[in-house]
Amino acid sequence: MENQIVEIDMANVGHGNPAWIAALEAGKVLYFPNFAEHGFKPQKEELALFREDIRDPKSRNISLDSSGKLKGAVGGDDVQTMMAGMIGRFRAEAEGLLGNLVPRYGEHLRRGAVSFRPSKVETRVQSWRADDRRMHVDAFPSRPNRGERLLRVFTNVNLEGAPRVWRVGEPFEDVAKRFLPRVKKYVPWQAKALNALGVTKSLRSEYDHLMLQLHDAMKADLDYQKNAPQVTFNFPPGCAWVCFSDQASHGVMAGQYMMEHTLQLSPMQQYDKDASPLAILTRLQGHALI
């Protein structure tokens, strides 16, 4: 399997290196080992926020939405203000990195939530579908996106030196060719019923159906999880990594204290429009999917 992780020195990021852009849009993970030296790191007073019980147990993560509203943190106004400030600073640094890395995306990027994840991955108890330790590509049952990309920036902010451990799998087209023969057929009336009942926030397209099927088929196949082409990589504290998580096959195996920023992008705004999952699945299926 070709190398799915590309290491980049923050000092060399520049403006739109074509090889790095091509790697990102091919579903590879871009790794910046010295992000903290040039970008975000927690301030001294913010270290008090680094405890697992600061997360509301009713929330999976602590997040700041695109309007600036903080969710999921336990504590008084001073804690809430400090948490929102820390997460907001990371968002600014993450967007600055993307501005240099993929400048053409620019105004076309749409902000999603940015989160602080204080929980320990190894002790999470989840269903097999929700268990992100199993390799998968991201797809969301209730939020159809009709091919819109999920561009994510991560940083490990662990204070004790523990890495964030990922498994990174084979290229998206290989995943699709492996699992498409197993997927259930898209049924338009079922998609309409789910939308009418409020199960989905908009109409689930055939593309969204296929992505969910791929997500579930990957996670359900334990032999694939064990034996598929993959590499395990330790992302150390102070680093950052960037990928299209709807395209990069990944599983999150271990770690605690991470920050993540999600942005969405129309596949029509990519440098290589033919590299998106929508384009790949459309070509493999032989008909329009949205």
Query: Does an H or E element contain 66, and which?
Result: none
Instruction: For 106-164, write each residue's pLDDT tens digit.
Output: 999 999 999 999 999 998 778 989 899 999 999 999 999 999 999 999 999 999 999 99
Contact 234, 258 (CB under 8 A): no
Residue 126 is predicted with a pLDDT of: 82
Residue 123 is predicted with a pLDDT of: 84
Task: Indicate yes or no: pTM above 0.75.
Answer: yes
Residue 113 is predicted with a pLDDT of: 93
Residue 85 is predicted with a pLDDT of: 96
Q: With cut-offs at 50, 70 and 90, classify the pLDDT of residue 192.
A: very high
Res 228 pLDDT > 70 = yes
Contact 102, 24 (CB under 8 A): yes
> pLDDT over 90 for what percent of the chain?
91
Average pLDDT over residues 163-177: 98
Res 202 pLDDT > 80 = yes
Mean pLDDT taken over the chain: 95
Four-residue CA torsion sign, 5, 9, 10, 15: negative
Res 16 pLDDT > 90 = no
Q: Please state the φ and ψ torsions of residue 26, each to the nearest 5 degrees.
A: -90, 0
Residue 2 is predicted with a pLDDT of: 67
Average pLDDT over residues 58-75: 92
Average pLDDT over residues 10-37: 94
Residue 1 is predicted with a pLDDT of: 60
Report all structural domains of the chain as residue ranges with CATH numbers, in order of start: 5-285 (2.60.120)
Q: How far apart are alpha carbons 195 and 143 in whole angstroms?
A: 10
Would you state the structure tokens that stand for residue 262, as one six-digit string?
């999600």
Q: How far apart are alpha carbons 78 and 88 in whole angstroms?
A: 15
Average pLDDT over residues 213-230: 97
Instruction: For 77-110, write each residue's pLDDT tens digit.
Output: 999 999 999 999 999 999 999 999 999 999 999 9
Instruction: For 50-62, write each residue's pLDDT tens digit.
Output: 999 999 998 989 9
